Every structure is written in C-alpha cells, then in structure tokens.
Amino acid sequence: MGHNQESHPESHFRVPAIVDALQEMHLTSKFRGSEVIELQNFEPASVDDIASVHARAYVSGLEKAMDQASEKGLIFIDSSGPTYATATTYRESIVAAGAGLALVDSVVAASKISRDPPTGFALIRPPGHHAVPQGPMGFCVFGNVAIAARYAQRVHGLKRVFIIDFDVHHGNGTNDAFYDDPDIFFLSIHQDGSYPGTGKFDEVGSGAGEGTTLNLPLPGGSGDTTMRTVFDEVIVPCAQRFKPDIILVSAGYDGHVLDPLANLQYTTGTYYTLASNIKQLSKELCGGRCVFFLEGGYNLKSLSYSVADTFRALLGDPSLASEFDDPNILYEEPSTKVKQAIQRIKSIHSL
C-alpha cells in the first residue's frame, strides 16, 4: 500500500476496491471454502527472477533509488511518462512479481494431481506489461507476466508459454521481452492509437520468433461483439496451433466502457465471457494451467465488478454483469472497421 500517489489513476485504492467487491459478493475463501485458495507467505521474486527479463543495472538502480524516494516521498522513474516510486516501491514490486511466481508453482502442482486444477489470479500492483527490459514505463515497474513466463520455463520446464494481453493498451514491455523467442507466443488485443503507440499489425516478432507475436489494434468503440469474434477467430486458432504448456493472461480492465483512460466499450459481461473462454481453452490445451495477472483498470467500480465477474467465471458461477452493466450507455460498434482489422490479422498470421 506504500506505492501510492493519491491523484494518480494507478493508486493504492485499486486492489482494496477489488477485495471489498469479492468479499461483498461472497467470492473469497471465507465464503467459498476450498473453492477459493488464497496463497499466504510466498517469497518475493529474487533478483535472478527479475533479471531473467530486466537488465540487472535497472534492478539495482531502482533499489538504490529508494533512498532518494525516502527523502523526497515520491520520485518519477520513467522519462517518457508518469511512473512514480515511493520508498517502498522496490520491495512492493518484487512482492508483486513473487505473487505471480507462487501462483505458477501452485497451479503447476495442482495440475499434476487434478484434471481440473484451479486457475490463478494475481491481484497485484504495480502492474507490469509496459515495463521494458531496460526500465519502467507507463505505471509499470517490473514485467510480472514476463517474469512468470521465464520462471515457468526455467523452474517447471514448461517450454511453450502463451500470453494473452487484453488490457486496452499494448503490452509493449512483454512484446519486447520475447520478440525473437519462438517458445513464447505474445498476443495483444488493444485500442488502436492508444498509449504507448506500439503494437501495430506488422509487429509479428523477428528472427526465430517471427510469427509468435500477434498484435491486433482495434478501432475505438469496439466492444463485446468484437471481443467474442476476436476470441473465436484469432485467439483460439493461434493457441491451438501453438500448443502451449501454460497460458498467462495480462488482465487489464481499462477497456471497460466506464474506464476513463481509453474508449473501447467492453462491459462487465465481456470480462466474464473472456475469463470463462480462456479457462476452457487452458483445459483443452495445457491441462488447465492458467494464471491471470492484474494490469490496468482505473474506474474503481467497473474494475472491481469486472474482476468479481471474472472470479465468477473461473468458479463456474453465473454472471452478475446484468446487475451492473447499463446497455443504454453503449453505442454501435464500428463493425466494418473491426471486420477489416480481423481479416487483416488473419491474413498476416495465416489463420
């Protein structure tokens, strides 16, 4: 909770808002018993874990910068945007990354004894998918998903990792970390023209990794119908062809129609469907091994309700999205532009 700037969209109110909603809707272990397992007492990520993705000079530099942050209370650590640090940021960032690694351990262990292991969800911040190998960016400090992908390979021998990033912004950090790696497939669906301006159709990977990066920029106004089509026509065939050993998800909730930082019009129901479909895909392709990682989402209400509906999907409960979503605020999706975008990506990737 120490990593916080009050007026900043990525403030320390985000995770407590989610936890409150989960408790209110009886989605915690207190109400669900062994259906919801909360991991306690896990280790922070080690420097070696972080350095599997990030330059060691950045990791040690951030640790040293904590003295300066202690003196000033708050410092900015990202030259291109508003990524801040406080005296506890380094510690909290290695704990956040460590939570992801503990979930990978837990899901992998469960998959050895059950055909239907639980899905992991890391309710963590600061988020990670913009953090590039050389440093922080776009509210993100360490690439939590990227670090978990390398860990799954190194520690568990899960060679092929499929990463789905449905945050409204392009996960440029994850993209860059694995751009030439044929064993990690990075698939990002984001709003065209949004921060940080990367993630174009033709960014498909390089060298041995050519074809294992897929970027689908969607036109503003895309919503639930678009995402359903993208899942069926892009995500599923890509995953089936890649044959992953584990699926990791950069779960950003800032594509919600109520979110202030972009203008897609996903609904709470969109996230329910996505989570349900991803869980099913992981059961079909990789023994149910799947971990979600919280990324963006800055309207506390839509964020917390959408994560709660994600939990419902993962638990096999019916959606309560209709109690929260207001169909009257939605407008017509740009179906012609969407169709063109989907056709283009299918042609580039031979889907």
CATH classification at residue 182: 3.40.800.20
Query: What are the phi and psi torsion angles at 293 (to 5°)?
Result: -125, 125
344 by Cβ neighbours in 10 Å (0-12 / 13-18 / 19+) ranks as middle
The Cα 51–Cα 58 span in angstroms is: 9
Report, as an integer, the average pLDDT of 194-217. Answer: 97
Report, as an integer, the average pLDDT of 95-122. Answer: 96
Lowest mean pLDDT segment, chosen from 109-118, 154-163, 229-238: 109-118
Let me know: does 254 contact 161? Beta carbons within 8 Å. Answer: no
Query: What are the phi and psi torsion angles at 84 (to 5°)?
Result: -110, 165
Partners of 293 in the β-ladder: 122, 250
Is residue 166 domain-resident? Answer: yes
Give me the catalytic one of 3, 54, 129, 130. 130
Let me know: does 83 contact 62? Beta carbons within 8 Å. Answer: no
The Cα 43–Cα 25 span in angstroms is: 29
Partners of 135 in the β-ladder: 132
- The per-residue pLDDT for 245 is 98
pLDDT single digits (tens) 285-301: 999 999 999 999 999 99
Identity of the residue numbered 287? G
Is residue 15 domain-resident? Answer: no
Question: How many helices, marked H, and strands, marked E, lie in the chain?
Answer: 13, 8
Instruction: Give me the sign of the Cα torsion angle 300, 170, 152, 4.
Output: negative
Let me know: does 25 contact 310? Beta carbons within 8 Å. Answer: no
Is residue 159 domain-resident? Answer: yes
Report, as an integer, the average pLDDT of 100-118. Answer: 96
- Tell me, yes or no, if 130 is annotated catalytic: yes
Is residue 151 domain-resident? Answer: yes
CA nearest 128: which of 150, 106, 157?
150
- The per-residue pLDDT for 78 is 85
Report, as an integer, the average pLDDT of 200-205. Answer: 98
Is residue 20 domain-resident? Answer: no
Answer whether residue 81 shows pLDDT above 80.
no
Q: Which domain holds residue 167?
A: 34-349
Is residue 139 domain-resident? Answer: yes
Share of the chain above pLDDT 70, in %: 99
Global pTM exceeds 0.95: yes
Q: Domains in the chain: how many in total?
A: 1
The Cα 266–Cα 223 span in angstroms is: 4
Answer whether residue 79 shows pLDDT above 90.
no
Task: Determine how many CB atoms are found less than 10 A away from the CB of residue 326.
Answer: 10
Helices 89-113 and 144-156 pack at an angle, to 10 degrees, of 40
- The per-residue pLDDT for 203 is 98
Answer whether residue 128 shows pLDDT above 70.
yes
- The per-residue pLDDT for 7 is 87
The Cα 170–Cα 166 span in angstroms is: 9
- The per-residue pLDDT for 80 is 67
pLDDT band, very low/low/confident/very high, at 82 (cuts 50, 70, 90): confident
Is residue 294 domain-resident? Answer: yes
Contacts of 249 (CB under 8 A, 6+ apart): 145, 163, 164, 165, 166, 278, 290, 291, 292, 293
218: phi > 0 → left, psi -120 to 50 → alpha, else beta; which? beta
Is residue 17 domain-resident? Answer: no
